[in-house]
Structure 1
Amino acid sequence: MENNIQFEMLKPELYNTYIKIGTKAYDQHYKHLWPNGDTATYIKNSFTKEILLIEEKDKDTVLYLIKLNSKHVGILKVTLHKQLQDYSKIDALYLDKIYILNEFSGKGIGSKTLKFVEQIAADHSKKAIFLESMQKGMALPFYLSHSFSIVANTKVPFNNVIEEEKPMYLLKRSL
């Protein structure tokens, strides 16, 4: 199944698809973080045409749609150059988002996406990949099983997230 996975760089004509897939996948995985399941704060900060236009102008931000066969099943957002901990922005890549629709989980898409991100990092001569993961849930064991290690505690940056759901970890994988 993994061989049928492709990464399509986001173009303006695909914004609506990116917004739809990103919103649906986020809601499937993270509604429980928000009072009454209201994810509007996150959606308006991540999945609007205005946000995508800003991100498109940022040379450090790269956005992809993830495809399985010819169907869009997820999104990927990478920050190519970001200073984190002891790493300069030259040396660190930040994996901002991998959101895959629930119905396509467990098909090797996440693993293939991490390999793709690792290749992006190698192409840019990075020494480390960083990401943040919720402390609870399925993502953390996935990243730990792919050679990431916990390097710091962080929190969801939105005030209106349920307090006990805010804890996150900063994870690093050296290259």
Structure 2
Amino acid sequence: MIIRKGTIQDIEKLKEIGTLTFTETFSLDNSQENMNAYLEDAFSTENLKVELNDQNAEFYFVELDQKTIGYLKVNIGTSQTEKKLKNALEIERIYVLQEFHGKKVGQILYEKALELAKMKDVETVWLGVWEQNLKAIRFYTKNGFVPFDKHIFKLGYDEQTDLLMKLELNTLTSF
């Protein structure tokens, strides 16, 4: 398995893995109409160009046998989706193809995010997770995250509640 930083040349790969992993994760619990509306916007070429060219956002792909099996997106500074914490890094997305769930790919991407946080010398890592995504909430809780707030995430026309969770890096002895 290798992890590599994404570039603008990866736009089609990002569109493909992003759409597929989001669909696998959320399609059973949401209407097709809302899924389509969200995917058309979030993974449009125009939107992905902006995200890939953003100096405060970074994408990382995890590849196995030359196949992309998951990805990570982190944000710092003004690119964070919420401005509630100072000197923080946001994990906006960790998504892994369903066939690779349970194989530590998400943990590897999470550890990459912590490595980036250390390199950027931030104090806090935070994220938003859908309150109904109990598997993800357990994953982040197991890794030391605690809830600190909530926000609304629009999935198409549906307003959903995300738990905002954070990890204070000064509480970690090493990572």
**TM-score > 0.5, shorter chain as reference:** yes
Kindly indicate whether residue 59 of structure 2 is the aligned counterpart of residue 75 of structure 1. no
Identity %: 22
**Contact 1:75/1:97 (CA < 8 Å) preserved in 2?**
yes
The corresponding residue for 2:55 is 59
The corresponding residue for 1:170 is 164
1:43-122 aligned within 5 A: 43-81=39-77, 82=80, 84-85=83-84, 87-88=85-86, 91-122=87-118
Q: 1:147-173 CA distances to partner (integer Å, 9 max, x unpaired)?
A: 111111222234612x6xx12200000
**Contact 1:25/1:100 (CA < 8 Å) preserved in 2?**
yes
The corresponding residue for 1:25 is 21
Match 1:146 to one of 134, 143, 151: 143
Gap runs ≥5 in structure 1 = none
CA distance in 1, matches of 2:32, 2:52: 32
RMSD over equivalenced CA pairs, Å? 1.8
Q: Point out 4+ residue stretches in structure 1 off by more than 4 angstroms.
A: none
Q: Give TM-score, length-normalised by structure 2.
A: 0.85
CA distance in 2, matches of 1:37, 1:44: 11
Gap runs ≥5 in structure 2 = 170-175
Partner amino acid for 1:54? V
**Contact 1:62/1:80 (CA < 8 Å) preserved in 2?**
no
Q: CA 1:69/1:148 → structure 2, altered by over 3 Å: closer, same or farther? A: farther
Tell me the CA shift for residue 60 of structure 1.
Answer: 0.6
